[in-house]
Amino acid sequence: MNTNRKGGKMRKIYFLAFIVFLAATLFGLTTPALAASTMVVAQDESPRMMNPHGDDSDAGLQYMANFFDGLLQRKGPEGTLSPALAERWERLDLLTWKFYLRKGVKFHNGNPFTAADVKFSFERLSNPDVSEFINTGKSIASIETPDDYTVVIKTKDPIPWFANNMHQVFMMDKESTESRDPGEVMVKPIGTGAYKLEEWVKGSYVRIEANEDYWEGAPPIKKVEIRPITESSTRFAALASGQVDMVTGVPVELYDKIRSNPKLEIISRPARRSIFLSFGNAPGSPMADIRVRKAMYRAINEEEIISKVMRGHAAPAAQIPDPPTIGYNDELKRLSYDPMEATKLLKEAGYEKGFSVTLTGPNDRYIQDEQIAEAVAKYLAKVGIKVNLDVKPKSIFFPQVAKGELEFYLIGWFDGTFDMGRTYFKLAHSRDEEKGYGELNGANYSDPEVDKLLESTANIVDPQERGKILQQLNKTAMVDKIAWIPLHYQVDLYAIQKGKGINFQPRPDRWMVYKEISK
């Protein structure tokens, strides 16, 4: 055997292999390795701005959660409240909270994160020109910073869920926020988050890149392109054609089509968001009579809505809070569908010939929202209630809710604090602008008994004791008062490309937080 000739052949093979590897590296042929660190996602909601205090909607907060951090964060599929920019926290008394800040954290511009930034961020919440967290800002009596890494916040009134809300209040860099033009602050975020903004073209895409110096460690996916595509069939087309790796908000009417595609995978989880109907009870109006409210409840065939409108992707609700929320009462049951009983109740209340009511709702916010409203109108018509349907874009609808301009409306809700007390203060308490109560009580429902019972919970700190009182409040409102008509809990649906190795677990708040995703 000629070992020299064999060795020469092997050297040629190694040399050719090196040339192929070099060419692949230089000319971009190693795309699988590159693809492993990038991701393209079609989201069903788009950002309004990059000011973390200017949009308190879930749609806005989920974008901000990638650029900014709160003092605390919610992690994983259970939404566990965990340390973030504060390593630990404690409640000193009914009004006072103390946060011990994490050292060594830097903003994207290199500025160190300190207590001064926390004080600035909380004080900024009260400015209506830049904040939709006005009530949170107004609830604070004082903020003290004994040193660079300690913050003591005192509230005007007891707020049991104050810390539970700290994952939604994001910290801003005092120096760059004050020195930059307000318009720039609205479009160029400078936070401490896991990602930095690379480019944002409104209506087209948001490109983000990993913050390699992130305090929790650099995120596994280095670049993400988020394409806000609100039209469901267009999102599906982008996924089916391979233009995106993942989509959020899978439409129920396309569920079977996506599931049957061998290249795609559906990921689902029961949603925390409940869909329900809210109404006013002004004296002299039909809905001031509980018999009318109960008749409207019993006239609606929710099982049929779930089956035909939601295509089975929903679960019936008997209350507004979901099971993880303090105050959820598992003893509550839905009133059964009974149009004959509804007709009887209307007759007893003096509305044998029915009455007219306007049902308002969004047509671009919740799964099948317009179709649900249409179904409700048809059910109510069968018992003699004439419904004037008024569905509209969420950009018009929600300001009407905030102003209390509505009579009867469809809306969805889940509470990010996991505390039913906050839900009821926002949605059911009589409107009180000075105290910030009833800010989303869009039809001005008012009941002194509900108000009194709710206010009595403010000083209760112990979770078990608090849970019992809130469960009783829940029963009073849902059974004794019929404060709302609950419909169903949504199911969150996502779809991904198979074979891309995407490791994704949906969050209970439905936020897309990309540091939690790997590929």
Q: How crowded is residue 128: how many other Cβ atoms within 10 Å of its Cβ?
A: 9
HSE-up of residue 314 (Cα within 13 Å, Cβ side): 29
Please list, in sequence order, all residues whose beta carbon lies within 8 angstroms of the beta carbon of residue 410, skipping any fewer than 6 positions away.
Answer: 275, 276, 277, 278, 359, 360, 361, 362, 366, 369, 372, 373, 376
pLDDT at residue number 42 = 97
> Is 271-490 in the same CATH topology as 42-245+500-516?
no
Task: Give the pair of three-digit tokens for residue 519.
Answer: 């590929």
Q: Where are the beta strands (DSSP E) in 240-397?
A: 246-248, 264-279, 314-316, 355-362, 385-392
pLDDT digits (tens, 9 = 90+) for 300-335: 999 999 999 999 999 999 999 999 999 999 999 999
Superfamily designation of domain 271-490: Dipeptide-binding Protein; Domain 3 (3.10.105.10)
Listed residue (379, 456, 451, 431) closest to 410, CA to CA: 379
The values of phi and psi at residue 263, to 5°, are: -90, -10
Following DSSP, what letter does each residue of 204-220 receive, concatenated? TEEEEEE-TT-TT---S
**Contact 492/507 with Cβ under 8 angstroms?**
no
> What's the N-to-C CA distance of the chain in angstroms?
49
Instruction: Specify the pTM.
Output: 0.88
Amino acid at 378: K
Please list, in sequence order, all residues whose beta carbon lies within 8 angstroms of the beta carbon of residue 492, skipping any fewer than 6 positions away.
Answer: 268, 269, 270, 271, 506, 510
Compute mean pLDDT per 10 residues along the chain, 519 residues long, and list them: 44 40 36 63 94 92 97 94 97 96 98 98 96 92 98 95 96 98 97 98 96 97 96 91 95 94 96 97 97 98 98 97 94 97 98 97 95 98 98 95 96 93 94 88 97 91 90 96 98 95 94 95
pLDDT at residue number 376 = 98
Listed residue (292, 300, 408, 293) closest to 350, CA to CA: 292
The sign of the CA dihedral 381, 385, 388, 389 is negative
In angstroms, the CA 165 to CA 162 distance is 6
Four-point Cα dihedral 53, 54, 57, 58, nearest 10: -50
pLDDT at residue number 36 = 58
**3-state helix, strand and coil shares in percent for the chain, rounded to the nearest 5:** 35, 25, 40
Task: Give the pair of three-digit tokens for residue 318.
Answer: 């008997």
Provide the CATH number for the domain formed by 42-245+500-516 in this structure.
3.40.190.10
In angstroms, the CA 439 to CA 454 distance is 15
pLDDT digits (tens, 9 = 90+) for 190-206: 999 999 999 999 999 99
Q: How crowded is residue 325: how many other Cβ atoms within 10 Å of its Cβ?
A: 22
Domains of the chain by residue range: 3-35, 42-245+500-516, 271-490
Please list, in sequence order, all residues whose beta carbon lies within 8 angstroms of the beta carbon of residue 25, skipping any fewer than 6 positions away.
Answer: none
Amino acid at 467: G
Listed residue (314, 371, 282) closest to 486, CA to CA: 314
List 83's β-bridge partners, or say none. 72
Q: How crowded is residue 304: how many other Cβ atoms within 10 Å of its Cβ?
A: 13
List 356's β-bridge partners, or say none. 386
Distances (CA, A) of 476 to 12, 222, 319, 329, 454: 84, 50, 11, 11, 11
From the number of C-beta atoms within 10 Å of its C-beta (0-12, 13-18, 19+), residue 17 rates as exposed
- H or E element in which residue 4 lies: helix 3-26
In angstroms, the CA 212 to CA 197 distance is 13
Angle between helices 463-475 and 420-427 (to 10 degrees): 40
